[in-house]
């Protein structure tokens, strides 16, 4: 019996992690959740860094970077639309929000389908010997999909931070006026 190739072992090791991340992303996109003080800021730090790295890696493929920019713009538009459809709840227990179910499912499916396609492309079809960041920027579809998700998450995180700030500012104002009375 032949030993599995290192790429196959890597895939087998990564599949549970990818399944767990897909499940966590799906749960975050469709259910009511408490607004974290930190999570939107993490999004606002990580996605711009990833965008800069992708842009740097793709600097020799400027024509393909337009796909990233188009995905980013469309994703930002989806983020604004998603914020309008989000149900926000300031309660005594904390700040909660419920993202739109349909938009959440669509973006989660896009994420899962793109990962599955990339795994099939790399491991089953053997089109790429060893996947690297440079391979990632060669695919306009991958750049557009990443731009869409990055634009959505950045815009949505900005909206969450702004909503949290407005709610807390209104609370401080109410408390200050109650102390004066």
Domain extent listing, the chain = 6-180
Q: Which of 30, 15, 33 is nearest to 103 (CA)?
A: 30
pLDDT digits (tens, 9 = 90+) for 73-119: 999 999 999 999 999 999 999 999 999 988 878 887 887 787 778 77
> What's the mean per-residue pLDDT of the chain?
84
Provide the terminal-to-terminal Cα distance of the chain, rounded to the nearest Å.
Answer: 83
Model pLDDT, residue 39: 92
Instruction: Break the chain down into helix, strand, coil percent, rounded to 5.
Output: 75, 5, 15
Model pLDDT, residue 38: 94
Higher pLDDT, 91 or 178: 91
pLDDT top residue among 61 and 118: 61
pLDDT computed for residue 140 by the predictor: 85
Going from the C-alpha of 105 to that of each of 10, 61, 142, 145, the distances in angstroms are 28, 32, 19, 15
Min mean pLDDT across 16-25, 54-63, 168-177 is at 16-25
More confident residue, 133 or 180: 180
Residue 129 clears pLDDT 70, i.e. is over it: no
């Amino acid at each position: 019996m032949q030993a599995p190739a290192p790429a196959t072992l890597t895939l087998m090791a990564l599949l549970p992690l990818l399944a767990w991340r897909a499940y966590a992303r799906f749960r975050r996109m469709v259910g009511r959740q408490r607004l974290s003080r930190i999570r939107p800021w993490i999004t606002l730090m990580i996605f711009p860094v990833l965008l800069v790295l992708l842009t740097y890696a793709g600097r020799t493929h400027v024509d393909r970077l337009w796909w990233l920019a188009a995905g980013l713009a469309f994703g930002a538009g989806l983020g604004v639309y998603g914020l309008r459809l989000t149900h926000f709840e300031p309660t005594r227990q904390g700040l909660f929000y419920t993202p739109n179910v349909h938009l959440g499912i669509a973006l989660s499916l896009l994420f899962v389908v793109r990962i599955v396609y990339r795994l099939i492309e790399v491991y089953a079809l053997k089109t790429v010997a060893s996947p690297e960041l440079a391979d990632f920027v060669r695919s306009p579809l991958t750049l557009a999909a990443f731009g869409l998700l990055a634009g959505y998450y950045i815009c949505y995180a900005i909206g969450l931070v702004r909503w949290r700030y407005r709610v807390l500012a209104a609370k401080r104002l109410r408390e200050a006026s109650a102390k004066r009375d």
